[in-house]
């Protein structure tokens, strides 16, 4: 199994541009989440999903959209990038709500 994969690894955007961060898992996990981590800080939950077709907001959802059309994929969309969204983004998945989360390697995003 590849586990949780994220693409791209690095991305530089200009203010106002849009993009989608990709996240995929091949473990048939129902639960998937997106976090952001700013320098020197802990992770903050952006959005999460408890299964295909179901998503919910986390701590810091503003400026981000998600969808979950399949069990495997959970893309994160930035509609109009802002410098405040410069961060490292981690995707995670787990088999159930009480189980350990597996994290991807992260996407390092810079918004100029």
Partner 1 sequence: DAKTTQPTSMDCAEGRAANLPCNHSTISGNEYVYWYRQIHSQGPQYIIHGLKNNETNEMASLIITEDRKSSTLILPHATLRDTAVYYCIVRVAKDSSYKLIFGSGTRLLVRP
Positions touching partner 1 (CB under 8 A) are: 4, 31, 33, 35, 41-45, 48, 50, 56, 58-59, 88, 90, 92, 97-98, 100-106
Of residues 85 and 107, the one with the C-beta less far from partner 1: 107
Q: 58-62 long-range CB contacts below 8 Å, 24 or more apart?
A: 58/33, 58/34, 60/36
Of residues 5 and 15, the one with the C-beta less far from partner 1: 5
* Min dist. Cβ of residue 80 to partner 1 (A): 26
Q: Measuring CA to CA, which residue among 65, 64, 68, 63 is closest to residue 52?
A: 68
DSSP state of 100: P
Cα separation of 77 and 107, whole Å?
13
* Min dist. Cβ of residue 108 to partner 1 (A): 8
Of residues 17 and 67, the one with the C-beta less far from partner 1: 67
């Amino acid at each position: 199994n590849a586990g949780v994969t994220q693409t791209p690894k690095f991305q530089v955007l200009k203010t106002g541009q849009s993009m989608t961060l990709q996240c995929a898992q091949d473990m048939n996990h129902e639960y998937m989440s997106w976090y952001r981590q700013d320098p020197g800080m802990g992770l903050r939950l952006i959005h999460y999903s408890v299964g295909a077709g179901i998503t919910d907001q986390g701590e810091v959802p503003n400026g981000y959209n998600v969808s979950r059309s399949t069990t495997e994929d959970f893309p994160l969309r930035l509609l109009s990038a802002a410098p405040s969204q410069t961060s490292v983004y981690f995707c995670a998945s787990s088999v159930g709500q009480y189980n350990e989360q597996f994290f991807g390697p992260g996407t390092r995003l810079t918004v100029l």
